[in-house]
Structure 1
Amino acid sequence: MSENQAPSSGSGRLNTGVAHNARVWNYWIGGKDNYEVDQAVGDQVAGMFPVIRDVARADREFLGRAVRHLVENRGVRQFLDIGTGLPTLDNTHEIAQRSAPDSRIVYVDNDPIVLAHARTLLTSTREGATDYIDADVHRPETIVERASATLDLDRPVAVMMLGILNFVLDTHKAQDIVRQVLSAVPSGSYLVLTHPTTDTDLGGEGNVEAMKFWNENATPPITARTRAEVTAFFDGLEFLEPGLVSCTRWHAATDSPTTVPQFGAVALKP
């Protein structure tokens, strides 16, 4: 889809009667694109697991640091952002094009609420390009095929998977999705990933009951994974320093960052 095309309605009708992740996440980071049902579930989860609001903000801040690092220090000019979520301040294309106006970005999501706001993601510098693909993460072949209309897949691409694989409940399927997408991009590409965990060293034990409540009262269902399971998504890749860490600690903005139960990492495809 080009900048002058309207998003399709292929994802179905917007359901405002059930809390939805994109809207609840928007609520946690202080956005206004949410409804009472999202706020109620968001408040309940935050009451059970207060750090979740910090996780939401930390995940977004990690995105900014990762994109800036890849553009300014690694020369990346192409981004495939899978599981875009609702537009907010400093979206991927804004961060990348601020430093490198010729950057090209393709967003991928299939939530009706995100589709409704996709026009915000289709602004671009004259030198660069942005695109939005209405596609499901479970269909990586479709994502790659349609992304190739905007991205040159013979040149390095940063594949962004922030807070999306936790909605693919089958771990083997999630690993296969990563493998398929990474196999379509060349050496010199990157995987940028965040993922919630129940690991106690990151304070993740509270995720267990919070996610149980979520899965009973909201959509889509979610899961957390251990360090070993998240590390497996990076098989065959080379971690950039400091490796797989709490996302607040990846190129931390402060000398003593807090720890949140959300892994974050960036890795190179050699």
Structure 2
Amino acid sequence: MNTLSRTALPSELLVRLRAETPLVQCITNYVAMNVAANVVLATGASPAMVHAAEEVGEFAAIAGAVTINIGTLSPYWLEGMRRAAVAVREAGRPWVLDPVAHFATAFRRDAAVELLELKPDIVRGNASEILALAGAESRGRGVDSQDPVDAAREAAESLARSRGCVVAVTGEEDFVTDGERVARISGGSPLMPKVTALGCSLTCLTGAFAAISPEDGFAATVAAFACFAEAGETAHRQAAGPGSFAAAFLDALHALSPESLDAERRVRWA
């Protein structure tokens, strides 16, 4: 528990997020844009879905953080991603990489490698994506993970150390590491994988927290994941199925109590 003395708690960061309303530039996929924007807004930050290559660099210079998701990849979008990553690094602000199904095709693999070389502060993916990104064997198929979170633990820690970034693995129990510190986040709902774009939205929310905690991406990531876990659990109790869950989830994010995020059943530090 000595980790807590040097890591901001999720409750503290949620209070700051709502007070500061950080601007986060979300370069995400077509499927996720509306859902991700609503998730970021409901939690308390300000999303901007700016992806055009002609303006991403200029916008990244004023955003608190940038998130890049390769879900619906194209050469034009990839150029925008490159420019945004370079610009936000030059501005001294954090960015988050979501290498969606990067192992599925050569184009996606090459794009993920190129973006990884531009030094993201945080990498978020499912277990299969993180395993493959670290060069380990993965059973992933398309956007779906076929590997358990625990199978990716060593790969995540190795990737975090070699790249000097935070690596977050999503699953039934999420795993976050910066290569030294480790946190596991429990909660959520089995209905969450039935609602499209929630994982992509988590990437955007992670960027929002990184914007108000640029000095500690590990704490920012844990806070974002704790919000999702808490809201998912709350929404599950109210939902009859995926459709009602989606609406209840946004309501639960909006109504989050900061204190509830710090419970030991929610976040386990190691």
* TM-score normalized by the length of structure 1: 0.34
Q: Going by fraction, where is helix more abundant, 1 or 2?
A: 2
* TM-score normalized by the length of structure 2: 0.34
Greater relative contact order (Cα < 8 A, sep 6+): 2
